[in-house]
């Protein structure tokens, strides 16, 4: 098989991860080196791990909450897994950034 480019490897890796074949089985079926398959798996997983994920945020102006309102106002964040996190308005943004970074 001729040398594959990055785009072809992206497709092959997606097919491999969607299937249930072992690495040697998949490589043999697609006529690629199992070592090349492992290299590209490692490379793409490392890139995905290193990439920073930013979520879109909409900032809406609102009146400052009173002490009574602050106890009942919440902000929510939905993680890609579907888990919804709820925080009191005024929670330290540095804490939230660390929390989201750890959950990625």
What is the reported pLDDT for 26? Answer: 95
17, 9 in Cβ contact below 8 A?
Answer: no
Maximum Cα interatomic distance, the chain, rounded to a whole number of Å? 69
Report the SS3 class of residue 42.
helix
- Among 84, 10, 75, smallest CA distance to 40 is for 10
What is the reported pLDDT for 68? Answer: 58
pLDDT in tens, 26-78: 999 999 999 999 999 999 888 877 766 677 777 777 666 666 555 568 888 88
pTM of the model: 0.48
d(CA 103, CA 85): 11
């Amino acid at each position: 098989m001729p040398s594959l480019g990055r785009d072809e490897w992206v497709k092959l890796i997606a097919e491999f991860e969607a299937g249930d074949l072992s690495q040697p089985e998949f490589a043999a079926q697609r006529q690629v080196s199992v070592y090349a398959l492992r290299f590209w798996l490692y490379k793409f997983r490392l890139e995905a791990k290193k990439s920073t994920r930013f979520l879109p945020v909409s900032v809406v102006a609102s009146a400052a909450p009173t002490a009574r309102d602050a106890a009942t106002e919440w902000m929510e964040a939905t993680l890609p897994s579907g888990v919804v996190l709820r925080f009191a308005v005024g929670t330290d943004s540095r804490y939230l950034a660390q929390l989201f970074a750890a959950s990625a």
